Structure 1
Amino acid sequence: MDEDRDSALSQAVLLREEGQAEQARVRLLELAERYPEDAEIAYQTAWAHDVLELEAEAVPFYERALNGSGLSIEDRHGAFLGLGSTYRVLGRYESSAAMFRRGLAEFPGDAALTTFLAMASYNLGESRDAVGSLLKVLAETSGDPRIQSYRRAIGYYADHLDEIV
């Protein structure tokens, strides 16, 4: 265990959480240079860039994080969401959708990944798929009693949007 690494990483994350994202980014870049194979540092570095709206600079760090090993399940999930969203913001819709699908292969049925995939699908001109996916997420996750009372119908119509009875 590298206590210097752990302490420096914790301090950088705390800076980001306290709203000092630029200071966090500088420290994380130093750590990423010192530990180029460290997926956790890469993920935190990507996140710091995203917070500062430096999406293009975040991409290689997200990619490094996902291609490496050692991320917690929660961080791996967050990296899929982060990279997929970043690709989408950059107008890389195909890459975005592919990343969300890759995430869904590891986290089947995940509502957040499905929702973000729906946004990328919309950007790709796949409005029917996007709406269908969102309806399914709504039916499965809404706590609204009225939505729940129509859950079966919403789920059915999510797959049959174009049908006329």
Structure 2
Amino acid sequence: MPRDRDQLLAEAVRLRETGRREQARERLLALCEQFPLDAGIAYQTAWVHDTLGLESEAVPHYVRAVEGQGLSADDRRGALLGLGSTYRVLGRYPEAVTTLRDAVAEFPDDGALKTFLAMALYNTGRAHDAMGLLLTLLASTSQDPDIADYRPAIEHYAKNLDATV
């Protein structure tokens, strides 16, 4: 990858991080034209669109990012979370569920992905599945001693919310 690409991308990211998001967006769109197959640029472009409330415009960039090559595992996870979350915000709930379910399969220890998947499941009318997922996540990640005391019960009910015993 050309050094110019790295430097220009770093400058655009700095602009976004310092609140100059519209300037970052302009630079990233120009980079997309110059490097149309670059997954890293696509991810950063999607991200800046999301921060500007331009979710519809973010989607094709997220798709290019996750379908492309070369993202670090962290960036890939972030791009999948961004895409799934953006689908959900746009009311594209089945696509959100599919994207986030696949992301959870790829990154099974990521609690944020599971949380956003639970929200998307809820949006598709699958509150039971969403609640089970969140209870399982809560039981396995909470540092609250009161929750830890009830971990076995929470895990049991997460699998069978309708159980009475």
Quickly name the TM-score band, shorter chain normalised: over 0.9
In structure 2, what is the equivalent of residue 50 of structure 1?
50
In structure 1, what is the equivalent of residue 74 of structure 2?
74
Residue 38, structure 1, aligned to residue 38, structure 2: yes
Q: Distance in 1 between matches of 2:141 and 2:17?
A: 28
Say what the alpha-carbon RMSD is for the aligned residues: 0.8
1:114-152 residue CA offsets vs partner (Å, 9 max, x unmatched): 111000000000001001100011111111111111111
Q: Distance in 1 between matches of 2:66 and 2:93?
A: 19
Percent identity of the aligned residues? 61
In structure 2, what is the equivalent of residue 123 of structure 1?
123
Flag structure 1 segments of 5+ consecutive residues without an equivalent: none
1:109 deviates by 3.8
1:31-83 residue CA offsets vs partner (Å, 9 max, x unmatched): 01100000000000000000000000000000000000000000000001000
Output the amino acid matched with 1:140: S
1:163 deviates by 1.4
Output the amino acid matched with 2:110: D
Q: Distance in 1 between matches of 2:48 and 2:3?
A: 22
Name the SS for the 1:125 alignment partner: coil
In structure 2, what is the equivalent of residue 114 of structure 1?
114
In structure 1, what is the equivalent of residue 2 of structure 2?
2
The number of aligned residues is 165
In structure 1, what is the equivalent of residue 22 of structure 2?
22
Q: Distance in 2 between matches of 1:140 and 1:113?
A: 15
Q: Distance in 1 between matches of 2:149 and 2:27?
A: 51
If the length of structure 2 is used for normalisation, what is the TM-score? 0.98
Q: Distance in 1 between matches of 2:71 and 2:109?
A: 21
Instruction: After the TM superposition, list the runs of 4 or more consecutive aligned residues in structure 1 that deviate by more than 6 angstroms.
Output: none
Moved more, 55-64 or 109-118: 109-118
Output the amino acid matched with 2:102: R
Name the SS for the 1:86 alignment partner: helix
Q: Distance in 1 between matches of 2:149 and 2:24?
A: 47
Name the SS for the 2:125 alignment partner: coil
In structure 2, what is the equivalent of residue 99 of structure 1?
99
Q: Distance in 1 between matches of 2:109 and 2:128?
A: 18
In structure 2, what is the equivalent of residue 151 of structure 1?
151
Name the SS for the 1:136 alignment partner: helix
Output the amino acid matched with 1:10: A
In structure 1, what is the equivalent of residue 135 of structure 2?
135
Q: Distance in 1 between matches of 2:129 and 2:102?
A: 17
